[in-house]
């Protein structure tokens, strides 16, 4: 079942650790080499010594270039694999009619979340809040949620830092993505793309409930509120 | 009597100021471009200090949100359009004709027009501060549809658009003159593969400009039109099209603001290790050709989080930069290897450039991965990343260039002691300012916000703010150095550093026609050839 799908945070953390290690090792090697050379070969130490060594080493440099290409290829391969995890989640979630759908509507400077009818006769649930107050995006833990994002004015960007995921919200296009919330709790969400005067206040809170509690919440919202 | 003055060989200038403003000597044009870039640099720096002061603690203390939005828009726009790009071009305009042994730049009147069109554009952009609604405030990319009239009304945004258009047009004209000089005005014996490393980086730079800059110029024209009409960028596909076009300029320009400083540092390393550039052919192929070619195929990585581009394709091309940049580093370090290294201010600025830029480069590989960019994009990770490339990298490289070539430009040295003091101060300030940003961004701090609320980010932000004032102190030391060095000149002579390339074979500053006599050119380091011939003779 898709309930076991990898969440974006685990996926990110795995890849980030590899990139961080590679970057750290490369930085250490180059920085130490540069500092060692600069300290090792000052002109004052042995004034008679003339600069020496070949000015070219085509074969060495070609071998080194191949090494660089291998490093790049490995990183690309890893990135493709982890990017597939993110993208596949959306594909799989979209294929399953039972996946919870949530519409994300961005407008200067507030978010709105709409739970469309997934069966005939179901009531649409809207999560809104007055401007300046973050609205609540209520979601289940461990089950993929399929989002459809659209902006009513300028470009916005749906970012949940704790899930290490963001996606642009466009006025001319409906963008879809799926997320899995790995544990219950409150996740801060922000608009990441600068969208005008009160951009910095455009927040939301994702409230992840255990599956059973979420189902009760949604049933209550769908049935309870008089239209 | 009425005819005689016209026949006089050198009539005294009737208006010295006007005469110098319309001089078609590439060195005079370049000096003015450099001076304007430095003035804009100080203005952009003040904007940065205002922002950092606001960010020292959460909440709003010294500016309104509206002003803050104007500040970050204008800081980015000033530094990119009006400081680092023209700084790079000023170096190229001054040095490329000298390095290829030309008596003048190609199409000097075009270069002169470029200078004043650029200046006009810069002043118009800054004039936005005088308008009622304030200057441009829709980010340095002028993102549509936010920059449309109904979303960002007022003349300031129009001033921004016209300013960017003119500044970029001026830069493009100057760049084309530099390219034409390198390709068409080389001295006898100066084949393409004997051009100095710096000249090659300028060729790579200007090749990118051919394709990238006109896209922005046209885009600004369209945006200006669209603000009064409809619906280029606020209709279907409009917002995406705007960003695709913008980044088709916006990524190559990142390398326009980087290559010339790599070239400058290559010259500095060569001069101060007493060696010629290591791996010249690889350096040329990787920087001027592979790097420049890749620059036009990576723009989509700015749109990874859009969901509307082929992320894998742009991840592939962006990781290709590893190859180009890796070769460049290999050649720069190889040049120092077993040299006779002189610890001048220029060399030390170059070394710090190399190490600090590495942080910018490695974090660049980080954001080249869409999976990682899904968190880093629009966060302070990106702010840290590009300041490590543009400030910790390019600006330090620019100071290496300034300390190295100042004697050529003026005939006098900058003070070495003050230069090293400036380097230490700027090194501390730079890393205090920009290193904390990686942690802040990773933790979820969004860029372009004046108030970050109570999320536990005060300490790191305060450190960054203190760091920014330390940077300002370093810049102050430079201004003092500039003043002292020009007031109490320490004459440098024609070739104080034993430089490798042709600009050191003429007087300092060079005469209007650049060279009285050109030495023979048999390699890319003709002056080293001459010295080695002399040194080798007795043996």
CA distances from B438 to A82, A210, B363, B367 (A): 22, 33, 9, 12
Token pair, residue B384, equals 């840290």
Q: What pLDDT was estimated at residue A2?
A: 43
Q: What would the mean pLDDT of B89-103 be, rounded to a whole number?
A: 98
**Element containing residue A140 per DSSP (H, E):** strand A136-140
Q: How far is the alpha carbon of B307 from chain A, nearest alpha carbon, in Å?
A: 7
Picking from B146, B444, B450, the nearest residue to A154 by CB comes out as B146
Distance CA A18, CA A20 (A): 5
pLDDT at B1 over 50: no
Distance CA B253, CA A206 (A): 38
Q: What would the mean pLDDT of B40-44 be, rounded to a whole number?
A: 98
pLDDT at A103 over 70: yes
Question: Coil, strand, or helix at residue B155?
Answer: helix
Q: What is the CA radius of gyration of chain A?
A: 26
SS (H, E, C) B462-529: HHHHHHHHHHHHHHHHHHHHHHHHHHCCCECCCCCCCCCCHHHHCCCCCCCCCCCCCCCCCCCCHHHH
Q: Which residue in this structure is represented by tokens 């250490």?
A: A28
In a domain, B538, yes or no: no
Chain B partners of A164 at a C-beta cutoff of 8 Å?
374-375
Distance CA B207, CA A89 (A): 42
- CA B377, B378, B382, B384 torsion: positive or negative? negative
Distance CA B421, CA B167 (A): 34
Token pair, residue B449, equals 């916000």
Per the CB < 8 Å rule, is B365 touching A49?
no
CA distances from B89 to B50, B373, B498 (A): 28, 31, 24
Distance CA B351, CA B279 (A): 18
Token pair, residue B190, equals 């100066």
Strands A175-179 and A100-107: unpaired
Question: In chain B, which among 399-428 make CB contacts under 8 A with chain A?
Answer: none
Picking from A51, A57, A195, the nearest residue to B273 by CB comes out as A51
- The band of B539, judged by pLDDT with boundaries at 50, 70 and 90, is very low
Please check whether residue A110 touches B, CB under 8 A.
no
Instruction: Note the pTM of the prediction, 2 decimals.
Output: 0.95
The CB density around residue A52, as the number of other CB atoms within 10 Å, is 12
Please check whether residue B189 touches A, CB under 8 A.
no
- The band of A28, judged by pLDDT with boundaries at 50, 70 and 90, is very high
- The band of A109, judged by pLDDT with boundaries at 50, 70 and 90, is very high
Q: What percent of chain B has pLDDT over 70?
A: 97
In a domain, B215, yes or no: yes
- CA B129, B134, B139, B143 torsion: positive or negative? negative
**DSSP per residue, A156-212:** EEEEEGGGTEEEEE-TT--EEEEE-B-SSEEEEEEE-S--STTGGG-EEEEEEE-HH
Q: Where are the domains of chain A?
A: 2-46+56-95, 100-224
Q: In this structure, what are the phi and psi dihedrals at residue B492, rounded to the nearest 5 degrees?
A: -105, -25
Task: List CB contacts of B229: < 8 A, sequence separation 6 or more.
Answer: none
Strands A136-140 and A203-209: parallel
pLDDT at A195 over 80: yes
Per the CB < 8 Å rule, is B305 touching A192?
yes
Q: How far is the alpha carbon of A153 from chain B, nearest alpha carbon, in Å?
A: 8
**DSSP per residue, A62-114:** HHHHHHHHHHHHHHHHHHHHHHHHHHHHHHHHHH-TTSEEEEEEEETTEEEEE
Question: Coil, strand, or helix at residue B98?
Answer: helix
Q: How far is the alpha carbon of B339 from chain A, nearest alpha carbon, in Å?
A: 4
- The CA-based angle B499-B505-B506, given to 5 degrees, is 125
Distance CA A127, CA A133 (A): 12
Question: Class assignment of domain A100-224?
Answer: mainly beta
What's the CATH number where B491 sits? 1.20.210.10
In a domain, B186, yes or no: yes
pLDDT at A68 over 50: yes
Distance CA B304, CA B382 (A): 13
In a domain, B528, yes or no: no
B370, closest residue in chain A (CA to CA) = A83
Q: What would the mean pLDDT of B407-422 be, rounded to a whole number?
A: 98
A70, closest residue in chain B (CA to CA) = B323
Q: What pLDDT was estimated at residue B39?
A: 98
Cβ contact B369:A19 at 8 Å = yes
- What's A141's DSSP letter? B
User: pLDDT (tens digit, 9 = 90+) per residue, A154-186?
Assistant: 999 999 999 999 999 999 999 999 999 999 999
In a domain, B101, yes or no: yes
Please check whether residue B319 touches A, CB under 8 A.
yes
In a domain, B267, yes or no: yes
Helices (H), B78-228: 85-99, 108-127, 155-184, 197-228
Chain A partners of B308 at a C-beta cutoff of 8 Å?
168, 170, 173, 175
**Which residue, A119, A117, A114, A110, is CA-closest to A137?**
A114
A39, closest residue in chain B (CA to CA) = B341
Chain B partners of A131 at a C-beta cutoff of 8 Å?
none
Name the more confident of A84 and A224.
Answer: A84
- The band of B12, judged by pLDDT with boundaries at 50, 70 and 90, is low
Q: The domain containing residue B42 runs over which residues? A: 23-509
Q: What would the mean pLDDT of B159-175 be, rounded to a whole number?
A: 98
Structural domain count, chain B: 1
Token pair, residue B467, equals 């760091």
Per the CB < 8 Å rule, is B378 touching A61?
no
Chain A partners of B450 at a C-beta cutoff of 8 Å?
200
Picking from A41, A61, A190, the nearest residue to B341 by CB comes out as A41
Cβ contact B505:B527 at 8 Å = yes
**Helix B155-184 vs helix B108-127: angle between axes, to the nearest 10 degrees?**
160
Q: What pLDDT was estimated at residue B147?
A: 97
User: pLDDT (tens digit, 9 = 90+) per residue, B308-346?
Assistant: 999 999 999 999 999 999 999 999 999 999 899 999 999
Chain A partners of B357 at a C-beta cutoff of 8 Å?
none
Distance CA A171, CA A136 (A): 22
Per the CB < 8 Å rule, is A80 touching B315?
yes
User: pLDDT (tens digit, 9 = 90+) per residue, B287-296?
Assistant: 878 999 999 9
User: pLDDT (tens digit, 9 = 90+) per residue, B262-301?
Assistant: 999 999 999 999 999 999 999 999 987 899 999 999 999 9
Chain A partners of B274 at a C-beta cutoff of 8 Å?
43, 50-51
Task: List CB contacts of A177: < 8 A, sequence separation 6 or more.
Answer: A90, A146, A147, A149, A165, A167, B307
User: pLDDT (tens digit, 9 = 90+) per residue, B351-394?
Assistant: 999 999 999 999 999 999 999 999 999 999 999 999 999 999 99
Question: Coil, strand, or helix at residue B426?
Answer: helix
Distance CA B493, CA A175 (A): 64
Token pair, residue B310, equals 């082929």
Interface with chain A: mutation pick from B304, B371, B453, highest number of A CBs within 10 Å: B371
Q: What pLDDT was estimated at residue B116?
A: 98
Q: Tell me how many residue pairs between chain A and chain B have CB atoms under 8 A apart.
A: 239
Chain A partners of B379 at a C-beta cutoff of 8 Å?
159, 161, 192
């Amino acid at each position: 079942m898709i309930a076991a799908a990898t969440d974006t945070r685990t996926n990110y953390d795995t890849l980030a650790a590899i990139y961080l290690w590679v970057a750290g090792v490369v930085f250490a090697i180059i920085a130490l080499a540069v500092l060692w050379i600069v300290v090792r070969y000052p002109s004052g130490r042995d004034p008679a010594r003339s600069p020496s060594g070949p000015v070219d080493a085509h074969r060495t440099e070609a071998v080194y270039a191949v090494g660089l290409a291998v490093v790049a290829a490995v990183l690309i391969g890893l990135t493709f694999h982890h990017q597939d995890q993110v993208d596949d989640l959306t594909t799989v979630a979209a294929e399953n009619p039972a996946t919870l759908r949530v519409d994300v509507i961005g407008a200067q400077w507030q978010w709105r979340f709409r739970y469309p009818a997934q069966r005939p006769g179901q009531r649409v649930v809207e999560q809104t809040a007055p401007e300046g107050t973050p609205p609540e995006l209520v979601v289940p833990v461990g089950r993929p949620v399929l989002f459809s994002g659209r902006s009513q004015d300028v470009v916005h960007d749906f970012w949940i830092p704790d899930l290490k995921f963001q996606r642009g919200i466009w006025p001319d296009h409906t963008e879809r993505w799926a997320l899995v919330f790995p544990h219950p709790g409150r996740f801060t969400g922000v608009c990441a793309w600068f969208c005008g005067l009160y951009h910095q206040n455009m927040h939301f809170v994702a409230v992840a409930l255990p599956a059973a509690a979420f189902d009760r919440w949604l049933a209550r919202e769908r049935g309870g509120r008089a239209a | 009597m009425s005819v005689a003055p016209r026949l006089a060989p050198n009539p005294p200038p009737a208006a010295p100021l006007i005469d110098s403003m319309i001089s078609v000597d590439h060195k005079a044009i370049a000096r003015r471009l450099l001076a304007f870039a430095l003035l804009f640099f100080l203005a952009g720096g003040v904007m940065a200090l205002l922002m950092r002061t606001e960010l020292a603690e959460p909440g709003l203390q010294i500016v309104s949100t509206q002003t803050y939005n104007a500040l970050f828009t204008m800081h980015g726009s000033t530094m990119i359009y009006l400081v680092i790009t023209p700084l790079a071009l000023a170096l190229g305009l001054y040095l490329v004709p000298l390095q290829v042994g030309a008596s003048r730049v190609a199409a000097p009147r075009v270069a002169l027009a470029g200078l004043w069109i650029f200046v006009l554009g810069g002043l118009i952009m800054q004039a936005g501060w005088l308008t009622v609604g304030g200057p441009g405030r829709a980010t340095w990319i002028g993102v549509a549809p936010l920059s449309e009239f109904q979303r960002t009304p007022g003349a300031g945004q129009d001033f921004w658009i016209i300013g960017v258009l003119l500044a970029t047009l001026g830069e493009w004209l100057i760049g084309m003159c530099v390219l034409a000089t390198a390709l068409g005005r080389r001295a006898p014996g100066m084949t393409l593969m004997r051009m100095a490393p710096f000249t090659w980086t300028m060729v790579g730079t200007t090749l990118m400009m051919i394709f990238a800059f006109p896209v922005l110029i046209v885009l600004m024209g369209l945006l200006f039109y669209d603000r009064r009409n409809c619906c280029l960028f606020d209709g279907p596909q409009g917002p995406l099209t705007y960003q695709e076009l913008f980044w088709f300029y916006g990524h190559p320009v990142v390398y326009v603001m980087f290559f010339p400083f790599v070239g400058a540092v290559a010259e500095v390393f060569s001069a101060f290790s007493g060696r010629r550039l290591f791996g010249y052919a690889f350096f040329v192929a990787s920087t001027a050709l592979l790097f420049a070619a890749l620059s036009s195929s990576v723009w989509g990585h700015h749109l990874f989080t859009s969901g509307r581009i082929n992320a894998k394709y742009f991840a592939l091309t962006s990781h290709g930069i590893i190859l180009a940049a890796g070769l460049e580093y290999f050649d720069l370090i190889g040049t120092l290897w077993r040299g006779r290294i002189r610890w001048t201010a220029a060399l030390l600025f170059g070394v710090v450039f190399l190490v600090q830029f590495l942080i910018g480069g490695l974090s660049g590989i980080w954001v080249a991965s869409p999976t990682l960019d899904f968190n880093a994009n629009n966060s302070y990770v990106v702010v840290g990343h590009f300041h490590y490339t543009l400030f910790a990298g390019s600006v330090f490289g620019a100071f290496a260039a300034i300390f190295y070539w100042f004697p050529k430009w003026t005939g006098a040295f900058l003070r070495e002691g003050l230069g090293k003091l400036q380097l230490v101060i700027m090194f501390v300030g730079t890393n205090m300012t920009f290193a904390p940003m990686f942690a802040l961004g990773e933790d979820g701090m969004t860029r372009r916000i004046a108030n970050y609320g109570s999320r536990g980010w005060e300490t790191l932000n305060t450190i960054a703010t203190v760091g920014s004032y330390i940077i300002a102190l370093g810049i102050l030391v430079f201004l003092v150095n500039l003043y002292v060095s020009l007031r109490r000149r320490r004459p440098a002579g024609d070739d104080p550093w034993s430089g490798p390339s042709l600009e050191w074979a003429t007087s300092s500053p060079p005469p209007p026609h650049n060279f009285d006599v050109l030495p023979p050119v048999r390699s890319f380091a003709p002056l080293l050839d001459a010295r080695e011939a002399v040194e080798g003779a007795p043996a």
